[in-house]
Amino acid sequence: MRVARGETRRRREPEKWESATAGAIAGAVSRTVVNPLDVIKIRFQIQREATLASAAKAVGKYRSVGQALVCIVREEGVPGLWRGTVPGLLLTVPYCAVQFYALETFRSTFQAKRGGQKPEGERGLIDRERTLSFAGGAFAGVAATTASYPFDLLRTTMAAQGVPKQYPTMLHAARGVVAQRGLFRGLYAGLGATIVEIIPYSALQFGLYDIFCAAYDRGIKRSSPDSRGAGGGASLDWGYLASKPFLCGLASGFIAKFATHPLDVVKKRYQVAGLCRSASYGKGFGVQEVAVLGIFRLLGKIVREEGLQGIYKGVTPSLMKAAPSAAITFAVYSLALDYIAKDW
């Protein structure tokens, strides 16, 4: 897995702990910035109402991104847009740390077995070595998800409950979930659906990111033959470090999220099953109802009851969140890693 790295400051490969630290910083910044879009996305995804033309008499509480934004601010205040931020940070910081640590571990292990990586000039845009980024991304995603999943579930629960609140704090939410479902079944509810989602999502995000970065470098070299391919000089180095991963992350994040969004909807339904909310939010799924349904049976149930639109509920705020989140994460990661791992 390649990341945009400054050549004027660092001459060595980063240590794994440095990748983990840079990943944690990137995750914290990204989560804080995009949390409002995450709240809106979750509210749409768990909103259960008929969308088929034959049964579309009931209208959901949230109908558009703009209307949902106004509704949340009016009912819950501006802080409502940052509901679930603390569990979100507790999720994202270790998630990104483990993700980039696992990615570097995977990359270095396979490079060592293959005797190192070929110079970029000798590699194709899509070659055997570059496709390892897809496998590395999947591996990193599974490792990070498994390590941080309880915080993902609590973050979803806190963001989904609306008003009146069932759980005032994350600790109350944890106690309530465990009391209702049990320790493992409660805090790891929906893990199977999440793993099924995260494998293609992380594979696409990191694999496409690597390809887009290579294409970006080749475009820079064609447009400016005298440039070094890493910014063209010290004065452009930091701009290159930020712009390249931001743009490539934006594109890869958008494609990966759109392709896997239906699985994300299923995951959210598992996570909030049994959550008591006001009737104005619509009917939810009960714990027993989802317990007897597998991932794909639940997916089919959503399609039958709510139409194909049902599995793409919240896709607009989801893409609005996922694309910039990936862009910010990759950009901050590259800048942070360049600073942490440079030789002073």
pLDDT digits (tens, 9 = 90+) for 299-313: 888 888 888 888 888
Average pLDDT, the chain: 80
pLDDT of residue 212: 94
Per-residue model confidence (pLDDT) at position 257:
95
- Which tokens is 298 given? 């639940």
Q: How far apart are CA 175 and CA 187, in angstroms?
A: 10
Percent of the chain with pLDDT over 70: 76
Reading the block at residue 254, the tokens are 């958008």
Q: Which two tokens stand for residue 286?
A: 């009960």
pTM of the model: 0.76
Question: Would you say 266 and 299 are in contact if contact means Cβ atoms under 8 Å apart?
Answer: yes
Answer whether 26's CB lies under 8 Å from 330's CB.
Answer: yes
Q: Do residues 14 and 2 make contact, with C-beta atoms less than 8 angstroms apart?
A: no
Q: Is the peptide bond before 164 cis (omega within 30 degrees of 0)?
A: yes
> What mean pLDDT comes out for the span 139-151?
92
Task: Give residue 8's pLDDT.
Answer: 43
Count Cβ atoms within 10 A of the Cβ of residue 46 and give its class: 0-12 exposed, 13-18 middle, 19 or more buried: buried
Buried-state track 153-176, b at ≥16 Cβ within 10 A, e below 16: bbbbbbbbbbeeebbeebeebbeb
- Backbone φ and ψ for 263, nearest 5 degrees, come out as -70, -30
- Distance between CA atoms of residues 307 and 295, nearest Å: 17
The mean pLDDT of 176-191, rounded to a whole number, is 86
Q: Please state the rounded mean pLDDT for residues 263-277.
A: 71
Residues near 180 by beta carbon (within 8 Å), at least 6 away in sequence: 186, 274, 287
Q: Comparing C-alpha atoms, which of 16, 315, 297, 267 is closest to residue 149?
A: 267
pLDDT at 46: 75
Q: Which CATH superfamily is domain 16-340 in?
A: Mitochondrial carrier domain (1.50.40.10)
Q: Which range scores top for mean pLDDT: 130-144, 151-165, 212-226?
A: 130-144
Neighbours of 246 (CB within 10 A): 19
Tokens of 265: 């909807």
Pairwise CA distance, residues 179 & 272, whole Å: 14
Helix (H, G, I), strand (E, B) or coil at 239: helix
Helix (H, G, I), strand (E, B) or coil at 43: helix
3-state helix, strand, coil in the chain (%, to 5): 75, 0, 25
Distance CA 249, CA 268 (A): 24
CA gap 298, 269 in Å, rounded: 9
Total count of residues recorded for the chain: 344
The yes-or-no verdict on residue 123 having pLDDT over 70 is: no
Q: For the CA atoms of the chain, what is the radius of gyration?
A: 21
Report the share of the chain in percent with pLDDT over 90: 29
Site of tokens 């110079």: 119
Q: What is the DSSP code (8-state) at residue 120?
A: G
One-letter amino acid identity for 251? A
Tell whether the model's pLDDT for residue 178 goes beyond 70.
yes
